[in-house]
Amino acid sequence: AKAAGKDRQELFDPRLRHEQAERIRIVERLRAALDAGEFAVHYQPIVALRSGASVGFEALVRWTPPGQPPVGPDKFIPAAEDSGLIVALGEWVLRQACAEAAPWHRRHGTTIAVNVSPRQLAEPYFADQVRQALTDSGLPANALTIEITEGVLVRSGAHTELVLTHLSELRADGVRVAIDDFGTGYSSLAYLRDLPIDILKIDKSFMPVDPADAQQAALVRAVVDLARSLGLTTVAEGVETAHHAELLRTLGCDRGQGWLFGRPGPPAAASIRLSAESTV
């Protein structure tokens, strides 16, 4: 009754009504786009800072409406999350990424990281969907990383137990769990305590803007030291300059991802990159 009352109220507020109509329109377009095959997965290399080798890729979804330039995920992931469409879209990305990355893993031993939204993790069949994607693609569990954000426990609400069960089950299979955008949430340290994870991705906002700024560097050092003392693999995001890479190497960060090493690109670009690396 409360929800119906809210709907009725919104019906009489022209501005809210417009916003709601707009949201429904976007979601309908996204659903049609999924059916029409307008989504693609792009891949950004994750590089071992010591050797410079591409040890894996992150899968990043792209939407190209016919006759229009590609739309970035920041524009449509929030609407997909609000509407629940992220569950279908996320499963599509997962299956696509496992299928495209399986031959890279076979030939070059690389891993693939897939972003998973809180809504997906709260689905009862999430772990089964991941296992099915692995079976169908032939990708071994230990070549897959799922990236979750610090908001996962808050936004999964009453489903926290289910989220933790999924993560534990998948880790028991060999899937790695990465905490994404580390340091941008409100209770990062509590998440390190409460979530079963293997990898910590340092958010790109921590990359020093000024190479000479000792405080900015000290903050990165603190995060890397914390992660290492917990036995986690560290990945720095937003590595844009040679100075960033040099600093991270000095601090003992394991891996880097960013424009310095390569922008996200179509699957063919990842293949070409791996072939070029293996012949040098």
For the CB of residue 101, give the shortest distance to ligand C2E in the complex, in Å: 13
Range in contact with ligand C2E (rule: CB under 6 A) among 72-80, 101-109, 136-144, 152-160: 72-80
Residue number, 46 or 251, with CB nearest to ligand C2E: 46
**Which partner from the list ligand C2E, Ca ion, none does 77 bind, CB cut-off 5 to 8 Å by kind?**
ligand C2E
**Which partner from the list Ca ion, ligand C2E, none does 72 bind, CB cut-off 5 to 8 Å by kind?**
ligand C2E
Residue number, 100 or 181, with CB nearest to ligand C2E: 181
3 state DSSP class of 7: helix
Query: Within 10 A of 11 (CB to CB), how many other CB atoms are there?
Result: 11
Enumerate residues 190-229 that contact ligand C2E by CB under 6 A.
Answer: 204
Alpha carbon distance 238, 184 (integer Å): 14
Q: Residue written as tokens 């693999």?
A: 233
Alpha carbon distance 174, 154 (integer Å): 25
Alpha carbon distance 144, 111 (integer Å): 6
**Which partner from the list Ca ion, ligand C2E, none does 238 bind, CB cut-off 5 to 8 Å by kind?**
ligand C2E
Size of the site for ligand C2E (CB under 6 A): 21
Exactly one of 96, 258, 273, 274 binds ligand C2E (CB under 6 A); which one?
258
Where do the DSSP E strands lie in the chain?
Answer: 39-48, 54-63, 111-115, 144-149, 176-182, 199-202, 233-236, 255-256
| 161 part of the interface to ligand C2E, by CB under 6 A | no
Beta carbons of 209 and 244 less than 8 angstroms apart: no
Query: Within 10 A of 10 (CB to CB), how many other CB atoms are there?
Result: 14
* Residues contributing to the site for ligand C2E (CB under 6 A): 44, 60-61, 72-74, 77, 86, 90, 93, 115, 117, 180-181, 204, 238-240, 258-259, 264
